[in-house]
Amino acid sequence: MTKLGSVMTAVGKKALLLGSGELGKEVAIELQRYGVEVVACDKYSNAPAMQVAHRSHVFSMLDGETLDSVIRKEHPDHIIPEVEAIATPELLKLEKEGFNVTPTARAAWLTMNREGIRRLAAEELGVQTSPYRFASNKEEFYKAVEEIGIPCVVKPIMSSSGHGQSTIKKESDIDPAWKTAQEGGRAGAGRVIVEGFVKFDYEITLLTVRSCSGTTFCQPVGHIQENGDYRYSWQPQAMSAEALAKAQDIAKKVTDALGGYGIFGVEMFIKGDDVIFSEVSPRPHDTGMVTMISQDMSEFALHARALLGLPVPEIRFYGPSASKAIVVEGDSDKVVFDNLEKALLEPGVQIRIFGKPEVKGHRRMGVILATAESVEEAIAKADRAYKALKINVLPR
């Protein structure tokens, strides 16, 4: 039975966020609606979730010694990973001691790199995936590309938001792809996955909630990515009843194997009625930001509710909705969003500005949300708002 006491007292609950980006910020807000004390951690100061948390710590979560020290000092009721780059062996050890990791330490360990989750899905659960090979050095990489064939996709086994990802379309792309993967991994240079190119009609994220009520699914989220980083997402993605049933079956198999309570973003490719598993995140998913306008409980509210041990008896879907990422380019710690009154002129449009302190190169700094009578109109409405928005990147 879940009991929630007064915040920041001996009877209150405490949650520790490992990663404090825009997704963690929304989780922090939802936890605070239940009176939970939130401690935010990230590798840089003033991260989005830190701006709304009760307290924060700055350190690399790949530093197992510091991670262990902070967790023991705070002694949280819930440890909530928000990023993949975490010293997961420490989480496994702490969980054995009685600490509660969301959804489980094993889930964080398996999904922190693409190798663990791919082998679980394809080799243990028998779920259909794209053909793949892993490589630890350049010689193995050349062999993997030869075996998989061109075209193929290359990714570091540990990265997010498309960092280090590239597509090999011809032989001259092979060496640059290796270089990109080595530079883009979240833990630095290392092992990569080479995936066969999948011809698909569209790809989805099936947000899957495991709670004390059982397993519940959100409406399928369609999305468009550029170099592995999401740019648009929408709900619902139109798909056949057969494909949806297969997708839900795969999502349940994978999430049951990972265990625990919380929301999982299960990514899949759809070709007709065929469904091919891609990846899973045991936490809110960037493409799921559309749920902030499309549902009565966003993916963040669902995550908070489930991990606290509370039931999720129903998810009420409001109607066709879309999100468009606000990606800012430049090098500045002074980004100004202007002309908001015109961007928000149409009904059914919302904007979230994440509050990230700076941009170097390109960075997702906000999101536009829109709802309409159809998905196509919701996307068009988000585009119009984006076009009206002015972004000024001022010199440092």
65 carries a ligand binding annotation = no
364 carries a ligand binding annotation = yes
Parallel, antiparallel, or unpaired: how do β-strands 221-226 and 202-211 relate?
Answer: antiparallel
* pLDDT band at residue 165 under the 50/70/90 scheme: confident
Residues 355-375, mean pLDDT to the nearest whole number? 96
Determine what percent of the chain is predicted with pLDDT higher than 90: 88
SS3 state at 44: coil
Say which residues have a Cβ less than 8 Å from residue 8's Cβ, sequence separation at least 6. Answer: 37, 54
Say which residues have a Cβ less than 8 Å from residue 363's Cβ, sequence separation at least 6. Answer: 327, 328, 356
226 carries a ligand binding annotation = no
Residues 362-368, mean pLDDT to the nearest whole number? 96
126 carries a ligand binding annotation = no
Q: Where are the alpha helices (DSSP H) in 238-388?
A: 241-258, 291-294, 299-307, 340-343, 375-388
As a whole number, the mean pLDDT across the chain is 94
CA 184: distance to chain centroid? 17
CA 233: distance to chain centroid? 13
Least confident of 46-55, 77-86, 289-298, 376-385: 77-86
| Per-residue model confidence (pLDDT) at position 132 | 93
pLDDT digits (tens, 9 = 90+) for 103-142: 999 999 998 878 888 999 999 999 999 999 999 999 999 9
147: number of CA atoms within 13 Å, CB side? 14
Residues 328-343, mean pLDDT to the nearest whole number? 96
- Tell me: pLDDT of 343 over 90: yes
Parallel, antiparallel, or unpaired: how do β-strands 152-156 and 192-196 relate?
Answer: antiparallel
Structure token pair of residue 204? 């989805």
165 carries a ligand binding annotation = yes
pLDDT digits (tens, 9 = 90+) for 213-236: 999 999 999 999 886 689 999 999
377 carries a ligand binding annotation = no
What's the length of the chain? 396
- Tell me: pLDDT of 187 over 60: no
Structure token pair of residue 356? 């990230």
Task: Tell me how far CA of residue 265 lies from CA of 252, 299, 349, in angstroms.
Answer: 11, 9, 24
- Tell me: pLDDT of 186 over 90: no
Rounded to a whole number of angstroms, the distance between the first and last alpha carbons of the chain is 52
3 carries a ligand binding annotation = no
What are the φ/ψ torsions at residue 214 (nearest 5 degrees)?
Answer: 115, -155
Q: Full-prediction pTM beyond 0.85?
A: yes
Q: Where are the alpha helices (DSSP H) in 296-374?
A: 299-307, 340-343
149 carries a ligand binding annotation = no
| Per-residue model confidence (pLDDT) at position 283 | 97
Token look-up 């007292």 returns: 9
190 carries a ligand binding annotation = no
171 carries a ligand binding annotation = no
- Tell me: pLDDT of 188 over 60: no
Residue 295 neighbours by CB distance under 10 Å: 22
- Tell me: pLDDT of 159 over 70: no
23 carries a ligand binding annotation = yes
Q: Taking a C-beta distance cutoff of 8 angstroms, is the pair 294, 219 a contact?
A: yes
Stronger pLDDT, 319 or 2, i.e. the higher one: 319
- Tell me: pLDDT of 292 over 80: yes
Q: Please list the active-site residues.
A: 160, 162, 267, 279, 286-287, 364
163 carries a ligand binding annotation = yes
| Per-residue model confidence (pLDDT) at position 116 | 86
356 carries a ligand binding annotation = yes
| Per-residue model confidence (pLDDT) at position 145 | 95
Q: Taking a C-beta distance cutoff of 8 angstroms, is the pair 246, 220 a contact?
A: no
Cα 6 from Cα 68, distance rounded (Å): 26
Residues 32-50, mean pLDDT to the nearest whole number? 97
* pLDDT band at residue 162 under the 50/70/90 scheme: low
Determine what percent of the chain is predicted with pLDDT higher than 70: 97
pLDDT digits (tens, 9 = 90+) for 239-273: 999 999 999 999 999 999 999 999 999 999 999 99
